[in-house]
Amino acid sequence: SGPRGRIVKADVEGLSKSDTPAKATEATATSEAPKAAVPAVAAGPSTDTVLKMYEGRDYEEIKLDGMRKTIAGRLTEAKQTIPHFYLRRDIQLDALMAFRAQLNKQLEPRGVKLSVNDFIIKACALALQQVPEANAVWAGDRMLKLTPSDVAVAVAIEGGLFTPVLKDAEMKSLSALSAEMKDLATRARDRKLAPHEYQGGSFAISNLGMFGIDNFDAVINPPHGAILAVGAGVKKPVVNAEGEISVATVMSVTLSVDHRVIDGALGAQLLSAIKDNLEAPMTMLA
């Protein structure tokens, strides 16, 4: 603004008073710009809303005990935070059923009676050793790869369920696993399990076959990497390697997998190992 367009002191002072705050304001506005909001999980209807829906209808109100609240919280957490994927296989049980009958006859004098579930526990425990990368859990900012096969088994009790853990299951005999499972299940139904008996593990089994369920998808129990849902063994026509049709006892299983811990190919290897163990049961004694 000076003579012949020269810059004078007033120009500099005016610039410092007018432009600098604008830049500071712009920078502040940029730094304080709101971040994109993370979509909140839609909440279910409130208690009052549900009660109004059933005004005038006959019902019994059941208060939630601590166990039910814990189950609800953990399953909600699991379905909202764990990226599940599912793998299914059919397993032929005829060799296992014949082998089981033979063993039970030999073990009868000792009062031991092996169940199909005992074989499933053993098969899963060995499979976790055969595919060790799948023997893992999610731990927030890392994964833990376990050395032993600590297998949890869902036990239904009145008003809920427990998942007692059979630790070092790969090291135990079928009869030892059977006895331990019976003891844990009995004490679970009596609600006498200690916390360390149902905490931990990397893998779980949920068997609804005894209720006639063909197949289902189980919810992963965090921090486990996977859970095996076991259906009923039913007679089905099958085609053998020679192309001949026969009838076999077939059990459908579904492996629910945490994709953060186990990728698809690794999950397929684990399920194939479980299938191979169950279809060649004598190898589980080697």
Q: Choose the weakest-confidence range: 27-36, 53-62, 157-166, 168-177.
A: 27-36
Calculate the average pLDDT of the chain: 88
Catalytic residue check, 224 = no
Read out DSSP for 6-46? ---HHHHHHHHHHHHHHHHHHHHHHHTPPPPPPPPPPPPPP
Sign of the alpha-carbon torsion through 212, 215, 216, 220: positive
User: Can you tell me the distance from the alpha carbon of 23 to that of 26, in angstroms, rounded to the nearest whole number?
Assistant: 5
Distances (CA, A) of 6 to 1, 2, 9, 270, 272: 6, 5, 10, 81, 85
83 and 259 Cβ atoms separated by less than 8 Å? yes
Can you tell me which residue has the tokens 């190992």? 273
Mean pLDDT in residue range 183-204 = 96
Q: Could you state, in order of their start, the residue ranges of all structural domains in the chain?
A: 1-33, 84-285
Class of domain 84-285: alpha beta
What letter would DSSP give residue 223?
T
Check residue 31 and give its pLDDT.
43
Banded model confidence at residue 224, pLDDT cuts 50, 70, 90: very high
Query: Residue 85 pLDDT more than 70?
Result: yes
Q: What is the pLDDT of residues 23-63, one digit of tens each?
A: 444 444 444 444 444 444 456 789 999 999 999 999 999 99
What letter would DSSP give residue 224?
B
152 and 164 Cβ atoms separated by less than 8 Å? yes
3 state DSSP class of 104: helix
Q: Catalytic residue, from 84, 196, 224, 259: name it.
A: 259
